[in-house]
Amino acid sequence: MANPKYAVSDKPVPVAELVATLSDGTKVKRRTPRMRACNEKDEKGKLCAGHLKRWYFFGDEVKQKFGADAEVYRCEHCKTLYLPNAEEEPRTGTLSY
C-alpha cells in the first residue's frame, strides 16, 4: 500500500543543464529551482552533493562569458560552477527584514 504522506508526481525531475565548459575543464551549469547541492557525478557515477556557495572571486574567463557582476555559485567539493535559475528572483543586493 502506498504511503499517503507522500504524493506521487507525474512531473519530470528538473536537471541542471550544462551551459559551458571553461578552458581549464570546469563545467558551468544552470541551477534548477531551489537547488542547493551539486548534482555532478564522478567517473564512477557517484553523486557529488557538495553545497553550492556564492562565489565572488571568479577569473577573467568567467567575467568575459557571463559578466563582471554575474551571480555565480560554486560547488565546495568538485568546483563546478552554477548560474542562477531564470525562474527564481536574483539573490543579489542587500538583505531586508
Quick: pLDDT tens for 61-88. 999 999 988 899 999 999 999 999 888 7
pLDDT for 8: 72
- State the pairing for strand pair 52-55/72-75: antiparallel
Q: Give the pLDDT of residue 88.
A: 78
Residue 4: per-residue pLDDT: 67
Whole-structure pTM value: 0.78
- Reported as a pLDDT band with limits 50, 70 and 90, residue 95 is low
The residue among 43 and 89 whose pLDDT is bigger is 43
